[in-house]
Amino acid sequence: MAQFIEIRDFKDPELDVYARLSENELVHRDRPMDGLFIAESPKVVERALNAGYEPVSMLLETKHIQGEASSILERVGDIPVYTAELSVLKDLTGFPLTRGVLCAMHRKELPAAEKILSGARQVAVLEEIVNPTNLGAIFRSAAAMNVDAVLLTHGCSDPLYRRAIRVSMGNVFLIPWTFLPEEDWPEKTIDRLKKDGFATAALALKEDSVKLDDPCLHHYEKMALVLGTEGEGLADATIEACDHTVMIPMSHGVDSLNVAAASAVAFWELCRRNKSE
């Protein structure tokens, strides 16, 4: 049974996780197994619980005890649940809460790339995607378009940042993902993908780029799509290491799409290709 605690003291150290610690402080990069993240909204919290993440505490609008959070509260066990009216919660956290529910949860140990690639056919590899909003949108598209796993380079934003989780609608909990060792990117990782039977396609605007729907891309059983940073795109070394350089055809003089939008188009084409096989 959850322990309901009405918020009376904003300085309560138990509320630091929601009010005063930054997301980087929550990560505990020097002690990853002590790291926490914040899931926001009933649906997202439920998806995190379904994925096996362990709750530490909750912060929610009083009305949700008998409302949208009631089914979640039956699952979280004997944890503290801090409650207040929405205006109080906004003053405490400094931002409006989506659906009036936050949950602090333990992080898990990240799996090795080899583990999440086992059995995968469609993989997304993200290079230096630093915007949490873009990252969350990419995960949402990946889940919708049947991508089996996501690999992230060392400089990517954390998929468990609150904004990334929220934008993904909790889909960061549905797709296996991990960070690559910094020293493995790009050569070692791309070589490993190729040895595992993946064709590698870099999404980039180059003179030798083929269109995303080119038939030359349709005979591969396994495909790894590599997407680059929001500003400069993929590094030259990454493009050179991949089997193909791929572009999305444009019109009306538009030269490129935002990386999140581009990922949705590219994932859809990969999904369509696999469904036709």
Q: What is the pLDDT of residues 154-189, one digit of tens each?
A: 999 999 999 999 999 999 999 999 999 999 999 999
Domain(s) labelled CATH 3.30.1330.30 in the chain stretch across 3-106
Domain(s) labelled CATH 3.40.1280.10 in the chain stretch across 113-276
CA gap 224, 234 in Å, rounded: 14
Fold held by 3-106: 60s Ribosomal Protein L30; Chain: A; (3.30.1330)
Cis, bond preceding 186 (omega within 30 deg of 0) = yes
pLDDT at position 107 is: 94
Rounded mean pLDDT of 20-38? 81
3-state SS, residue 162: helix
Rounded mean pLDDT of 220-240? 93
Encoding tokens for residue 1?
């049974």
Element (H, E) at 179: strand 177-179
Contact 216, 254 (CB under 8 A): no
CA gap 244, 210 in Å, rounded: 8
Rounded mean pLDDT of 230-250? 91
Residue 277: pLDDT band (50, 70, 90) is low
Fold held by 113-276: Alpha/beta knot (3.40.1280)
pLDDT at position 271 is: 72
Tell me the pLDDT tens digit for each residue of 48-85: 999 999 999 999 999 999 988 999 999 999 999 999 88
Residue 224: pLDDT band (50, 70, 90) is very high
Average pLDDT, the chain: 90
Encoding tokens for residue 67?
């409302």
Least confident of 114-128, 139-153, 239-253: 239-253
pLDDT at position 275 is: 54
pTM of the model: 0.91
Tokens 């008998």 sit at which residue?
Answer: 66
